Structure 1
């Protein structure tokens, strides 16, 4: 099993390493990555997420509603807890905390979901559907929270914020929803729900963008990391423990609460037990927010999941 996990992680580390090397070698300006960020956040990732969600059968989502509930509750609880701890206990800024929180709360479904889940429950259409549902849950039901906070702080910094956060909420929601990274997957879910299938020609046309999305995001992440000095501290330690141990235990508790068994229970826990995703770091860079804690968490959880994932795979084998 460790071999399967390392095999799944190898492309991630290789592409991030290439981005890191390109930045350190000054092949790419690692302090000015705005153009690459626009490509990733406004074109490649939205195309990939739209393609994944629009091709996810609505009936399949309805049939796996338990998976949706477990994933969403696990991510929401983690998001709320880490954001509170980061802002109230460690006195981090709202922007920094939002980026860190999204990094911790949102697992790397896109890169690790299919190889890990396929090796445990088998590669079939149900497995692919579960991964697609996981990606949809993260992109539609979690990332907007991070965007809302970043948009709110951006408005306050520019002096365009008026009134309380609650009174600003409609405007912030509109700004977040109209961002391609949210609108893309949300539009895909809506089309799937009302039964509209995208023409094959359209899907083929955006396929190259989708294929480039993960690689470009990982390269960008490596490039961003090359401009920073990663440091261990209490926030990073807590974030890693939360992501790799506490969040999967939360998911397990929800599974027990609903009385789930078999592949749906295993899938729910293992999807949450994956390493941290790169969305938080990339989102932060798009808004000019640097979070060394999020970057360190991303890197360390990607390494440490080689140990924690086999543990949860073994523990969930009999449920």
Structure 2
């Protein structure tokens, strides 16, 4: 079991460390990462998400409905709680609160979920991870994009009232490739159709860069920010690594859920904080020191929390 956990987590730390060292040594400019961010958010990750969801068989997609619902609730509730806490008590801006909330609520499905599921569950672990990624891209991600669009200074000069601004922000967020890709992939899967071999191979080729480049970019971004361990970061880490999986435990205990779905849901919730919040923040000019610190603290502490979760869920 220690070997399995090491094989799942060591590559994540290694690639992030590469990006961090490259930024600190100025091998790559860690203050101007817009092009790399566009590569990840507009091309590589959307391609990966589309293939993962569209290639899932219709029956398997339908069978994973409870997983989608459980993870959706487990992400949205912490998201709203952390966002309101930051706005009301920490007096954070809308953009900063949104970036932090997404960092806390959306686990690292894309980079950490796939290798861990493959190591623990086996080849069939790709399907629940695809569902988890779709849930994260369809639910909290558009909400964050709407809040960032509304707080974007460029949009404050647009004509129209608040309702029109919200409508425009919602339209922009829902047409982002990172949101459209898993939605279209899910619809294609539910229709019973699958992308042909040529289309799948073409998308897989660019999609394979998603996890590695995203982790490298995360390390690169973090290298330009100081790590600050305060009570806010500690609270966010506890929310992400401990309270979120416990919330899933409460849900699966309260409702009749198949044991295999319950185990996967808890495992997915126990993953460390993801980097979508940081990448979204970079795209909108929000360099959140808190979000970067949360990702670092959550990833490091996940060595312990993930080990406990895996040992309890999959003892053999």
For 2:78, the equivalent position in structure 1 comes to 78
| Shift of residue 315, structure 1, vs aligned partner | 4.0
Alignment of 1:202-241 (within 5 A): 202-241=199-238
Query: Any conservation in 2 of the 1:4–1:115 contact (CA below 8 Å)?
Result: no
Alignment of 1:14-93 (within 5 A): 14-93=14-93
For 1:123, the equivalent position in structure 2 comes to 122
For 1:301, the equivalent position in structure 2 comes to 298
**CA distance 1:81–1:110, shift in 2 (3 Å):** same
Query: Any conservation in 2 of the 1:48–1:213 contact (CA below 8 Å)?
Result: yes
Alignment of 1:158-197 (within 5 A): 158-160=156-158, 162-164=160-162, 166-197=163-194
Whether 1:288 and 2:288 are equivalent positions in the alignment is no
**CA distance 1:161–1:107, shift in 2 (3 Å):** farther
| Shift of residue 73, structure 1, vs aligned partner | 0.5
Distance in structure 1 (CA, Å) of the matches to 2:159 and 2:51: 35
| Shift of residue 69, structure 1, vs aligned partner | 1.3
Deviations 1:255-278 (A, max 9, x none): 111133522111111110111111
Aligned CA RMSD, in angstroms, stands at: 1.8
| Shift of residue 115, structure 1, vs aligned partner | 3.5
Query: Any conservation in 1 of the 2:107–2:274 contact (CA below 8 Å)?
Result: yes
SS in 1 for 2:208: helix
Distance in structure 1 (CA, Å) of the matches to 2:261 and 2:113: 14
For 1:97, the equivalent position in structure 2 comes to 97
Query: Any conservation in 1 of the 2:45–2:207 contact (CA below 8 Å)?
Result: yes
- Structure 1, unmatched stretches of 5+, are none
Distance in structure 2 (CA, Å) of the matches to 1:194 and 1:262: 27
Distance in structure 1 (CA, Å) of the matches to 2:134 and 2:141: 10
For 1:7, the equivalent position in structure 2 comes to 7
Query: Any conservation in 2 of the 1:98–1:146 contact (CA below 8 Å)?
Result: yes
SS in 1 for 2:152: helix
Whether 1:135 and 2:126 are equivalent positions in the alignment is no
SS in 2 for 1:44: helix
Query: Any conservation in 1 of the 2:52–2:127 contact (CA below 8 Å)?
Result: no
**CA distance 1:161–1:15, shift in 2 (3 Å):** farther
Query: Number of matched residues?
Result: 315
**CA distance 1:161–1:287, shift in 2 (3 Å):** farther
Distance in structure 2 (CA, Å) of the matches to 1:210 and 1:195: 22
| Shift of residue 112, structure 1, vs aligned partner | 2.3
Distance in structure 1 (CA, Å) of the matches to 2:153 and 2:160: 9
Query: Any conservation in 2 of the 1:74–1:272 contact (CA below 8 Å)?
Result: yes
